[in-house]
Each structure stands twice: as structure tokens, then as C-alpha cells.
Amino acid sequence: MATVARGQLRIYLGAAPGVGKTYAMLAEGQRRRSRGTDVVIALVEPHGRRLTAAMAEGLELVPRRTMSYRSATFTEMDLDAVLARRPRVALVDELAHTNVPGCRNPKRWQDVDELLDAGIDVVTTLNIQHLQSLSDVTRQVTGVEQHETLPDEVARRADQIELVDMTPEALRRRMVHGNVYPPDRIEAALTHYFRPGNLTALRELALLWVADRVEEGLQRYRAEHGIAAPWETRERIVVGIAGENDDEAVIRRAARIAARTPGSDLLAVHVNCDDGLAAGHAATLDTQRALVALLGGSFQQVPGDDVAETLLRFARAENATQMVLGASRRGRLLNLLAGRSIPTRLARRAEHVDVHLVSREGAGRRRLAQAWPLAALRWRRGRASRASAEAAALTRLAGSVLRGRGDPPALLEEIREMFSLAAVSLLERRQDGAGSCWYVVASAGERPPEGPRADVELPVNETFTLAGRGRVLGTDDTRVLYACAVQVVAGITLRRRDEQDAHAAQHEADLRSRSALLAATGQYARGQLAEAQAALAALADHGAAATPDDRAALLAVARRAVDRIGRLVADLSDLSRLHAGALETYIRPVDLDEVIAASLDDLGPGGPRITLSTPEDLPEVIADAALLTRILTSLMADALHRSPADAAPVLTAVGLASQVEIRIADQGPGPHQGDGPSSLALRLARDLTEAMGDTLRCEETRGGRTVILTLPAAARRPPASVSAVLGEATSA
């Protein structure tokens, strides 16, 4: 039976929603359809965008599969229907999407893998923030946690990756015109996720990630075609450091060469070898390391028995275009003792790498004076220097691990450069439904190994293995590499243990907090229930004899108690839904005066009053109106509960730059802050506030308490004439 060739994967990658990835995917489908290719839409998400929907017209659409989950109805790509239809090309939107439970695969990219295995070409879309390796960076930039992520390796395996680019200004104009989001979401998006700074940072991430993939493709092409000569797609200047006092001039000269070409890389390298003449002092090397960092370069120490050969191997591994070395006035006698000079050997063998020699005054005379003693002690000093360098490397790795700064990719990058490898991976054997599989825990370099079979295969323990690509290591290098790998694995194990301990401690604290909260809430509910029962019993016993006013008073007592219990149950329900992830938010500009009025209405008529202090020009806030009403209602009810009858709580609101601050202050000691409704009100308000991405804090004051809610202010709307001019300008 003939083997089906795997399909081709093409990804349209963008930095943010709205740049036109889905439109580009559909345009590619239309182009292929016009050439006679069998193209179907397996799944597309137009998001109500008119131009995107228009581009899909004329393309065959495979009906979606309807599914039910938690009493709700969803539609997903019908994988079996697409496989049965067997088109030449399938268009599948949003590669990082998580499928509804009940689908054959948990992730859409796994569905796409099945289509590719069946020989179907797939054209798909992806946003840069959904890449797993960048999720923490994008969260730091945008403040939004990405719950749907895609392993980088899935995207790296794509046959074609095309960047769909758009400047932040152009994307924001598209939003103003309503081409991305509906009108009621535009202002909130522009003031939050789609701020110019956010979009610029995301665009830079996308450009850099794609540039790295282009570089990987170039290296792969050179390796497949046996091209050893460097291609000057980017200047990489390697400067050799001997560890002598006058090396600073060499470093500065190399930095000036790098500065003449924007985008170039400066790589300083010191070789630890058995040649006592090349051994540098630790203090001098530390000073030079700091200088290289100050000039924007990187500094590495690599082991090697032959300085020239090690430098050349490092330069080739880094695709260097130029090398800068310090030259000394070395006599014929010293050359005979130490062999042909390193710069001369490099210049003869560097081929397409330019070698620059920088003069170092006085170095030749010092070396000539030291030639005979150094020749005698050469082997011993070299071995000691190498052992010291190995110990220093292990100490740096161990220190990084113990200080908690041991980021595995960064440590592996240091190891890769130290041993002049093209790529390294730390692999972990895990058990899944199909048996034992290797997973890449961290990697560095271009095309890192995905399995243990590589140029370097170094088992660390029963679970972890270090794999490397680029060259086969000698016995001494393997020994040092193993010690380094042990440190990396120790760091990962320590980090995982700390995370487990922190999770367990947080879980235990949550349980204690929940138990205390439920106990206090239960006690309060029982008290309110007893109050309602007592009022109803009195009404039953004396109903006929009681006056209308007495009956009304007893009914009011019972009604208030039942209302409090109902509000308590509603709070608990909201808190449970929030923690279960079932509470949706709809963020938009909200009129704070309307929300406060709605909260006061929810409190009901009668009872103690609340003093309001809000300015007339208070800006709108960015929030979920329903959640904000719920928060203010809960906090004001709690403030009323805590305050005595003769001292009303005070609600103040004030605009502070780009924020609005709401304060609800008690005017008396009232009940203790740890009682049921107060604790629950604060817990609910804080959790609901965090669900909107905002902050709430509590300050104890003399004779009371102040709860402070901070919300982002919406941008003030421009006058009509300004809006008209802006619309004309953006339309143009």
C-alpha cells in the first residue's frame, strides 16, 4: 500500500487580533481555487467582520459539528467530515483554539495534525501571543493571561510562515472604523489591549520570532547543501580574549566595528586550554566580561585544547562574519616555542571570515621575557587553568540555580556556547496514554534535538537526558557537560518542588479561609433565620390581637431577615461561579453615576442612608456594568451593616489621571470585621474586582474602615466637530 505524503502547513502569523490573518487565509484559498485546486473551508471565524465574510464567498464550507457542554451549545470543526471530504487544501482558522470537551482531540492543532497526516494541505492562522514560549512576555506587556497556547514546536514545523503585519496606528484606525470589534467594544479595546505601546511590543515580538525562523531555515538550507562558508545575512563579530590587561583595546575596537552595522552581534570568547600562554586571570576576565556587557555584547568561556581550532569552531557555530584578535610583537624564538601564532593559523583557515588583528603595546616584550619559564610550566598551568574554568562554569550554574535565577533556556544557551554546539535540548521521559515519550523541557540554539539520538546523548538520570547537535565531544568535555546538566536538572527539580509547595500552601490557606468564611456565614445565616422565625411566630401568636402597625413591623423584620439570607445565598453563588470560571465579563465604558444609582436601588427603600460625594465631571470607567453594580451593592450593604444607625457610610468618587477611585467609608465601629457578611462581602467584591482586572484594597481607620476600589477611566469623548474631522482623516 502506497504511503500518503504528509500535507503542507502554511501559517499566517499576526501580532494582534484584527491585522487581517483570517482575511489573508481566505484570500489564499480564493487564489488556489482560481487555479483549479480543490479548497474547502474546514472552519473560519469571521467574528462579524463584513470584509472577512465577503472574502469567504464562493468557497465550499464543510458544516460544523454541534456539541453540548454544561447545558450550552457549541460548534467545532467536524474533523471526520473534512477527512471524508478529502480536499486538497483545508482552511482552518485559529490554530491555538481549545476544543470543547468531547471532541476527539483537546486542541485544534492536533486536528490539523490529523489532516496533514492524511495528505491534506492546511492553511491556518495564529497570533503571536498564543505561542507557549511567549505567553509570559505577552502577559507582562498586555496584562492579559492567555489560556489558549500552542507549543512552539508545532509552529516551527510549519512549511511556510507568513507574517501579516500592520502598524499600530493603522490597526487602531481599523478599530475606529468598526472593522475589528462592534461599536460598544471599541473604546474599551483602544484604552486597554490595543494601546499603541502594547501593539508596538507585540509587533516587535512577532517580527523577531519570524526572523529567528527565517534564520533557522537559512541554517537548515546551508546544512542540507553542505555550505560551510558563512552567509553575511547578519554581521556577527567574534572577539578573542586572551585574558591579558591590554585586551580592553581589542574589545573596544571590536565594539566599534559592530557599531558601524546596525543589528550586528558582538560575541566575546575566551578559550580555557592547556596552553599556559593563553590562560587569563580570573579578575581580569571578570573586568573584561563587564566591559563586553557594557558595550552590548555577550561573553563566553569555552574549553579547548587548541586555541585556534576552538575559536574557529566557535565562529563557525555562530555563523560569524568577522573575527577580532589581539596581535603582539612576538619574536621568532617565541613562535618556535609556542608554535605558529594563533592569528596566523586563524587567518590561514578562516576562509570567508575576515580576521582583524589589533596591536597590543608591550605584550610581545612581556611574553618574550616569560617564554622559557612558561614553556617549562606550560602543561601544569594549562591543566590548572582548565580545571579552574570548569569549576567556575559549574559554580555559575549552581549559583544561578540556588538564587532562583536558573531559567532553563538561558542556562542551556550558556552551555551551548560554552561547548560550541549548534543546539542543545533537555529531554524528559514521560508516560502518557500511548506509553513512554520524550518531551523537550527546554532548548537553545537552532533546530534543537527532539529526541535523545543526536551528536551528544548524555543521560542525566532515569528521567532526564541532555541531547546536543553540532559536534561530538571528547572525554573531558563530556565530563564537564554532564556536571553542568546535573545542575540544570537540579534547578528544574528545585523549581518544580517550590511550585508544588507554594501550590499546596496556597491550597491549604484557601481551605482555611473558606472554612472560616463558611463558618462565619453559617452563623450569620442562622441568626437571620432565627430572627425571621421569631417575627413570624409572634405574628402567628398575636396576629388577630395585634394592631396593623405591629403586624407591619413584624412582617418588615421577617422580610429584612429573609432578604439578607437571600443576598447571602446570592453572594455565595456568585463566588462559586467565579471560582469555577463560569462568570463571564463584558468590559466597556460605564457611566459610574448610573451604576451607583442602580446599586442604591438594589439596597431597597428605607433603612440608614448613604452619603454620596461624586463630582459632576466624573469620567466613565472601563468595567462590566453588572459586576460593578454587584460589587458596589455588596460593599454598601456591608457598610450599612457595620455602621450604627446615627452615622451613615460615605461613598466618594474622584478622577485621578487615568483612573477613578471609589471609596466607601464606615462611620462607626459597628460589628467586628471578621463576621460572616462582612468577610463574605469583601471576599466577593475583591474576587469580582480582580475578574475585571482591577484592584480593591481595605484600610482600617479609627472607628471604622474604608474600602478603596480603583478602576481605569475611559477616554473622554471628543466634541462632535472633532470626531467628524477625525473620521474624515482616518477614512482618508
User: For 576-602, how does the pLDDT look when each residue is reduced to its tens digit (9 = 90+)?
Assistant: 666 665 566 677 888 888 888 888 887
* Integer-rounded Cα radius of gyration of the chain: 34
User: For 520-549, how does the pLDDT look when each residue is reduced to its tens digit (9 = 90+)?
Assistant: 677 777 877 888 888 888 888 776 677 888
User: For 309-320, how does the pLDDT look when each residue is reduced to its tens digit (9 = 90+)?
Assistant: 888 888 877 778
Scored b (16 or more CB within 10 A) or e, 415-447 reads bbbbbbbbbbbbbbeeeeeeeeebebbbbbbbb
pLDDT for res 222: 57
pLDDT for res 727: 35
Given a cut of 60, is residue 386 above it in pLDDT? no
* Element of type H or E holding 222: helix 196-224
Q: Which residues contact 96 (CB under 8 A, 6 or more apart)?
A: 107, 108, 109, 126, 127, 130, 148, 149, 150
Given a cut of 90, is residue 614 above it in pLDDT? no
User: Residue 103 gets which letter from DSSP?
Assistant: B
Judge contact between 595 and 632, C-beta under 8 A. yes
Please give the average per-residue pLDDT across 651-677, as a whole number. 72
pLDDT for res 314: 82
Query: Would you state the cell numbers that stand for residue 293, as one nine-digit string?
Result: 556587557
Given a cut of 70, is residue 731 above it in pLDDT? no
Confidence of residue 720 (pLDDT cuts 50, 70, 90): very low
Please give the average per-residue pLDDT across 644-658, as a whole number. 85
Residues in the chain, total: 732
321 vs 267, 317, 602, 694, CA distance in Å? 11, 11, 72, 51
Confidence of residue 12 (pLDDT cuts 50, 70, 90): very high
- Mean pLDDT is highest, among 258-267, 452-461, 691-700, for 452-461
Residue with cell 405591629: 550
Scored b (16 or more CB within 10 A) or e, 342-357 reads bbbbbbeebeebebbb
Please give the average per-residue pLDDT across 379-403, as a whole number. 55
For residues 96 and 89, give the distance between their C-alpha atoms in angstroms, rounded to a whole number.
Answer: 19
What is the chain's percent helix, strand, coil content, to nearest 5? 50, 20, 30
Please give the average per-residue pLDDT across 192-208, as a whole number. 78
pLDDT for res 60: 92
524 vs 440, 517, 680, CA distance in Å? 53, 11, 11
* Better-predicted residue by pLDDT, 115 or 337: 115
User: For 488-498, how does the pLDDT look when each residue is reduced to its tens digit (9 = 90+)?
Assistant: 888 888 888 88
Given a cut of 50, is residue 374 above it in pLDDT? no
Confidence of residue 398 (pLDDT cuts 50, 70, 90): low
User: For 350-369, how does the pLDDT look when each residue is reduced to its tens digit (9 = 90+)?
Assistant: 667 788 888 765 444 444 44
pLDDT for res 351: 66
User: For 504-515, how does the pLDDT look when each residue is reduced to its tens digit (9 = 90+)?
Assistant: 887 787 677 667
pLDDT for res 417: 81
Q: Where in the chain is the domain with CATH 3.40.50.300?
A: 9-224
pLDDT above 70 covers a percentage of the chain that reads 75
The β-bridge partners of 670 are: none
In 62-191, where does DSSP find H-type helix?
A: 79-85, 108-117, 135-142, 152-156, 168-176, 183-191
- Mean pLDDT is highest, among 374-388, 667-681, 692-706, for 692-706
Query: Would you state the cell numbers that stand for residue 512, as one nine-digit string?
Result: 482555611
User: Residue 403 gets which letter from DSSP?
Assistant: T
φ, ψ of residue 221 to 5 degrees: the values are -65, -45
Among 196-200, 371-375, 399-403, 491-495, where is mean pLDDT lowest?
371-375
pLDDT for res 338: 45
Please give the average per-residue pLDDT across 437-444, as a whole number. 86
* Better-predicted residue by pLDDT, 486 or 682: 486
Q: Angle at CA 607, nearest 5°, toward 606 and 611? A: 100
* Better-predicted residue by pLDDT, 11 or 147: 11
pLDDT for res 718: 41
Q: Which residues contact 107 (CB under 8 A, 6 or more apart)?
A: 96, 97, 98, 99, 150
pLDDT for res 581: 57
Q: Look over the chain and give the mean of its residue pLDDT values, rounded to a whole number.
A: 77
* Better-predicted residue by pLDDT, 537 or 87: 87
Please give the average per-residue pLDDT across 646-669, as a whole number. 84
* Better-predicted residue by pLDDT, 720 or 646: 646
> What dotted CATH number matches 584-712?
3.30.565.10
Given a cut of 80, is residue 719 above it in pLDDT? no
Residue among 613, 610, 603 at smallest CA distance from 681: 603
Please give the average per-residue pLDDT across 651-658, as a whole number. 86
222 vs 217, 305, 309, 621, CA distance in Å? 9, 28, 21, 56
Given a cut of 60, is residue 406 above it in pLDDT? no
CATH topology of domain 9-224: Rossmann fold (3.40.50)
Q: Where in the chain is the domain with CATH 3.40.50.620?
A: 236-403
pLDDT above 90 covers a percentage of the chain that reads 12
Confidence of residue 447 (pLDDT cuts 50, 70, 90): confident
Scored b (16 or more CB within 10 A) or e, 624-636 reads bbebbbbbbbbbb
28 vs 44, 56, 64, 476, CA distance in Å? 13, 11, 21, 54
Please give the average per-residue pLDDT across 470-477, as a whole number. 80
Confidence of residue 669 (pLDDT cuts 50, 70, 90): low
* Better-predicted residue by pLDDT, 225 or 449: 449
Q: Which residues contact 89 (CB under 8 A, 6 or more apart)?
A: 29, 32, 37, 38, 39, 40, 120, 121, 122, 123
Query: Would you state the cell numbers that stand for residue 378, as one nine-digit string?
Result: 606550560
Query: Would you state the cell numbers that stand for residue 728, as one nine-digit string?
Result: 474624515
pLDDT for res 226: 59
Longest dimension (CA), the chain: 127
Confidence of residue 231 (pLDDT cuts 50, 70, 90): low
The Cβ of residue 207 has, within 10 Å, a number of other Cβ atoms equal to: 14
> What dotted CATH number matches 236-403?
3.40.50.620
Q: Where in the chain is the domain with CATH 3.30.565.10?
A: 584-712
Please give the average per-residue pLDDT across 168-193, as a whole number. 74
| Pairing assessment for the beta strands 354-359 and 322-327 based on DSSP bridges | parallel
